[in-house]
Chain A
Amino acid sequence: VGPQAGRTRAVGIVGIERKIEERRKETDKNISEAFEDLSKLMEKAKEMVEVSRSIANKIKDKQGDISEDETIRFKSYLLSMGIANPVTRETHGSGTHYHLQLAKQLGDMLQAPLEERGGMMSLTEVYCLVNRARGMELLSPEDLVNACKMFESLKLPLRLRVFDSGVMVVQLQSHSEEEMIASALDSVTDKGSLTAEEFAKLLGLSVLLSKERLLLAEKMGHLCRDDSVEGLRFYPNLF
């Protein structure tokens, strides 16, 4: 046999085992190579982070006037690297250029669906709607929130609103709060008492939003609650 002994020849079980072993070594090598490249890439990114941090410090010295061109460019750099750094960035330019454009686009896009739904949508609903329509180049949740935060400064007819519970909604600027509360009070008085679910069905709203409305009306003193095993019911405030 001689020199052939060192080489793998598929003979019997030993041969099969050897083949498997060889394949394993191959994949091992591939994996470790991939990780090596990854860590090299990360090292590069780390340098970028260092640099951006030092730039942030420099900007701090200059103290923010209204959105300077430099900070805007800096923000889009940070964004492309995926470093969100709001604490030090907030005072130096209100947001990114990208978010500004996005806000404008959202403004056009959301007008009709909002009107259809009675002037208010929860942010998760908006997120679904926008991303489903896009298909590619989807928005991240942060992008959406950041864009929505700029509605008001852009004088768009939309508004981002945060309820006490932390639920965020987008509403039309024309959407009036008093009207909303008054309508809630009307329907509750009409039915004697309502849970959020019943109210949602009545108005064709989502349960989440209908609950916020009822809570708002309660906060303004128009409604009061009855919390029992039957559920949380709202009554007209007779007190």
Chain B
Amino acid sequence: MSFEWPWQYSFPPFFTLQPNVDTRQKQLAAWCSLALSYCRHHRLYTLDVMEAQESPVFNNKKIERKLSMEAIQVVFEELRKKGNLEWLDKNKSRCLVMWRRPEEW
């Protein structure tokens, strides 16, 4: 079974952090659900921030767009606020991804 990308994934603005507050919220929500479903599909439990940028989630080779480092940090931070992510070290370079929140288990 191959992973199904959401429509946003082939929409270039998805890879630029939007300055408009409302738009950015929707964008981040889409990013969060994409990151989670991707990890679930590939059974990933930990992510390295540096490696994440090269992985297909944040790097769409077909439309030649890549999410910037800062934007990835923002997405991860958003996930952490939602309770789906925990940092493994203080430098915030590795993190634990939880497809379900601790409360849901």
A interface list, Cβ under 8 A from B: 193, 218-219, 221, 224-228, 233, 235, 237-239
Contact = CB atoms under 8 A, between A and B. Distances in A.
A44 B72 CA distance: 64
B65 A225 contact: no
A228 B8 CA distance: 17
Given A221-B22, A237-B23, A239-B23, A228 B30 contact: no
Given A221-B22, A237-B23, 8 more contacts: A221-B20, A224-B16, A224-B18, A225-B16, A226-B12, A228-B65, A233-B13, A238-B11
Main secondary structure, interface of B, reads helix
Most buried by B among A193, A224, A239: A239
B23 A221 contact: yes
B26 interface: yes
Contacts of A228: 12, 15-16, 64-65
Nearest to A232: B16
Please name the 9 residue pairs, one residue from A and one from B, whose CB atoms are nearest each other, closest first.
Answer: A226-B12, A239-B26, A224-B13, A227-B16, A226-B13, A235-B13, A239-B23, A226-B16, A224-B18
